[in-house]
Amino acid sequence: MEFVFRRSYRGPLKAVILDWAGTTVDFGSFAPTGVFLKVFEKMSVPITIEQARAPMGLMKKDHIAAITAIEEVAAAWQRTHGRPCGQEDIDFMFEQFVPLQMQCLAEYAEPIPGAVEAVTEFHARGLKVGSTTGYTREMMEILVPAAAGRGYQPDAWVCATDVPAGRPYPWMCYINAINLQVFPMEAIVKIGDTLPDIEEGLNAGMWTIGVALSGNQLGLTKEQFDRVPPQELERKRKAIYAQMYQAGAHFVVDGIWECLPTIEEIQARVSRGEKP
């Protein structure tokens, strides 16, 4: 046989799947960062903000494990405890993390500027809105209603504890597709502020958009962001854009407030038969 049939989807985009902290709520992704600092301080192994943020986007227990694997943190743990950090230590720190995180989540439920408007526009274009997160279900049961009370409410949400493994595995995206009743995966766009967000979308076979300035990669509050000198902001923007493109993002924008033109560009590419 000289020819093989290959299907080409050229229909409409059907859904977007959004991250939470740093993408749609909690400008700068501060809710988890401060808690990681507290947990490691309690273990007499202080970490830096940069170390706390480095694995952001992972399920929170996986995030703790990733911090302990950072060379400087591992060495500090060895000096302090006289042994490497083990799984029992990681489990214990996660147990400490959960109640501390739940205590402050509602304080960080404020939608990022443009998020509520973006969801309205997504719906107006016939797109369903799902979401994934590194938070556990019990944490989301606090965050979801707190965000809804402030105007942000996706059509579906799936958390890391609902599936066998969180990011960068694609399972949360697949469950979103099932719950939203949309397919194929190439008709869905993943939007997030971390490198694991991008990996998750790619692994699920979706188009991916990285948001560079509202989340973990920049790590500034909205007030701090507004005060950054233009030249410094541009330097940081270029570095974050490069990181996200190197991670495989199809597109990178400053924040969710800039996503609609990119969604239209993706639709044009899909209509031409292009795949993620």
Taken in order 113, 220, 235, 72, the sign of the CA dihedral is negative
Tokens 């080409």 — which residue? 8
Spot the catalytic one: 14, 60, 128, 190: 60
Write the DSSP string, 167-223.
TTSSHHHHHHHHHHT---GGGEEEEESSHHHHHHHHHTT-EEEEE-SSSTTT---HH
Q: What whole-number distance in Å separates Cα of residue 141 and Cα of residue 147?
A: 11
AA identity, residue 146: A
Q: Report the SS3 class of residue 156.
A: coil
Question: Is 212:37 a contact under the CB 8 Å cutoff?
Answer: no
Catalytic, 60? Answer yes
Spot the catalytic one: 19, 62, 193, 197: 19
Q: What whole-number distance in Å separates Cα of residue 191 and Cα of residue 252?
A: 9
Kindly report the CA angle at 144 between 64 and 170, in degrees rounded to 5? 55
Compute the CA torsion angle 201, 188, 19, 122 (nearest 10 deg). Answer: 160
Which residues lie across from 211 on neighbouring strands?
253
> Six-digit token pair at 231?
């030249």
Catalytic, 222? Answer no
* Catalytic site positions: 19, 60
